Structure 1
């Protein structure tokens, strides 16, 4: 299929303001391009708390009877990393950081919505610092309020199955938001079809990921037996603190473990264990003496930004330059940032909480749940993802685990690119040769995978 061609000059198209709208008591301002192919805006999800969203209509949208065109809502991690900037321009959106067409954009398969979520992330903002969310469920309530507004402001959503697709900490957003949306739909409060939830290298069970680090790094020679025992002891400390509900303390211990691993592994890159942290052009400098408790969130966005190393533009430059000028509605003197420290630290007492129960609830409703994981990820390792999946109480789990995996190929390239296992409404993809950022590391199989997940008419 021909790749949709997005002209960089489209950034200069005149703005169409759709004005101030109100939906379910949520004040909204929406704008877009004259042809309606893009819409964006703010929803005041709580008084003085504003979420920013951006919708793209796929050029490949089809009016096929019985096959409604799907919409993907992308949820970035961090917490506090900008989906409008990172997910859009660095991973799956129609344009890259140089504002040139991306051959592997997911817009070929679905309409796309990006969020700067929670409030305070990216272009989203609060008028009072007391309004940052402190729990994943508060985030879910805000995002559900936004969706209630978008159903009116983006008419295509009413006849389009919506898929929540998440990355990293965004998986915890997707779990809680998915349940919140499902409950709202069942209660008749939200007119939308939740097609499924897809969790990419997602921080669903901090305990299981933490316990996976030592064995993984021993198996790839980044730790040795002399350091493995100490790393395991530190991981067990995190486990005990989680069990005791010592959430902030367990996060500190987790950061201490990551500091220890960095020192003893030669600064392995936690997002791709084949790399050293210093190999990325904009990796955080460990010589500053700052602890990972302050830097781990920044590394999430700076790793993606390192993909710009061959670019003439930077993500910060375009988001505070040509993109801001295009959007027109960003508040005066407001500066976009890749990563919000305020959002990150506001979630300190929720960061280490698992969201396995929420996945069980989604499965019990019959909603499709997909887990996909990059083979080379450490921070949200495949071993950790497999471990939390095995804790599900879903009645189909035993049958799911007993099935063989199926190999997947992509395009004309040789060799297996992934494996998949599916049973009823649970699916698991093992993505080979990818780290934490599957669409960046393996764009071909990522595009093929999302097409299968959402059952795109453009498959």
Structure 2
């Protein structure tokens, strides 16, 4: 549950950085940008009771599609501008579901816009396949020995069996156990750059937290206290619509745990459906990264 309004905008591609200074590489030079804190409970978006949080990607996609319907009515110029859905990590998995929801709404005449494409960055669209790749990859780059790779591959096989049986929560527990074992037995390999050890890269720190490494990256000092300060200060005051008791955070563990049973569900069929409609789909991944969430 990472905030697009805060992190996607100020940390990555928006017109201003975390210090609210102009960013020369902003994507705004190429396209209009819309950042949304979705699923509800992320960033500035909130619920009055955690029981109202979405528990599936489909529910989150339905919410987002409803928002898009309202946006194109309010900003009619969006109808003539192709929409590109861009997301990474678990968001890349969710983006496939959202893309399908948008296309279906367009084809049904409920949403008047054109889906130009979907970009899935290091996307968690096939958890069992990614789990099966970790041991082999790290063995090939000499971060695990044969015994270590075999251990990881056995755990990955259990993950595959649990996913096939619909035991998604158990599959995630097995995956987390396997990944923690891999980190320890690989000399604490940096999960976003297998050329480095954890600690050599300042944005990654291994902890005993049950959350994925991407979450630890988002919480790290290098992500910037400046963004946290800006989102709960100047930006919040500028928007004038965020309740005083809502505190912006880089990510929401409440959302993470609400989606726990959906986390390991693959989205390969959704990607296939997008392709069957003729939607341009780009799937990309970091060359030295072996993590996809």
TM range (shorter): over 0.9
Match of 2:163 in 1: 242
Among candidates 264, 289, 292, match of residue 377 of structure 1: 289
Any idea what the Cα deviations from partners look like across 1:347-377, whole Å, max 9, x if unmatched?
1111000000011111111111111221111
Match of 2:44 in 1: 123
Any idea what the Cα deviations from partners look like across 1:405-440, whole Å, max 9, x if unmatched?
xxxxxxxxxxxxxxxxxxxxxxxxxxxxxxx8xxxx
Among candidates 194, 203, 206, match of residue 124 of structure 2: 203
CA contact (8 A) 1:171 1:204 kept: yes
Tell which has more relative contact order, 1 or 2 (C-alpha 8 A, sep 6+): 2
Match of 1:345 in 2: 257
Among candidates 143, 166, 185, match of residue 222 of structure 1: 143
1:154 aligns with 2:75: yes
Q: 1:278 to 1:83 in 2, by over 3 A?
A: same
Match of 1:260 in 2: 181
1:327 aligns with 2:243: no
1:134 aligns with 2:134: no
Structure 2-normalised TM-score? 0.95
Match of 1:444 in 2: none
Match of 2:14 in 1: 93
Where 2:93 maps in the other structure, the secondary structure is helix
| CA distance, structure 2, for counterparts of residue 133 and residue 296 of structure 1 | 23
1:107 aligns with 2:28: yes
- 1:404-423 alignment to 2 at 5 Å? none
Runs of 4+ aligned structure 1 residues displaced above 6 Å come to none
| CA distance, structure 2, for counterparts of residue 175 and residue 251 of structure 1 | 20
Match of 2:89 in 1: 168
Q: 1:285 to 1:217 in 2, by over 3 A?
A: closer
Cα-Cα RMSD: 1.7
**What is the CA distance between 1:167 and its match in structure 2?**
0.6
Q: 1:148 to 1:300 in 2, by over 3 A?
A: farther
Q: Which runs of 5+ in 1 are unaligned?
A: 1-79, 381-435, 437-459
1:302 aligns with 2:230: no
Higher helix share: 2
Larger Rg: 1
CA contact (8 A) 1:280 1:306 kept: no
Match of 1:15 in 2: none
**What is the CA distance between 1:307 and its match in structure 2?**
4.8
| CA distance, structure 2, for counterparts of residue 268 and residue 125 of structure 1 | 36
**What is the CA distance between 1:314 and its match in structure 2?**
2.2
CA contact (8 A) 1:283 1:302 kept: no
Match of 2:199 in 1: 278
**What is the CA distance between 1:271 and its match in structure 2?**
2.1
| CA distance, structure 1, for counterparts of residue 236 and residue 289 of structure 2 | 33
Count the aligned residue pairs: 293
**What is the CA distance between 1:269 and its match in structure 2?**
2.0
**What is the CA distance between 1:261 and its match in structure 2?**
0.8
Q: Which runs of 5+ in 2 are unaligned?
A: none
Higher strand share: 1
1:233 aligns with 2:154: yes
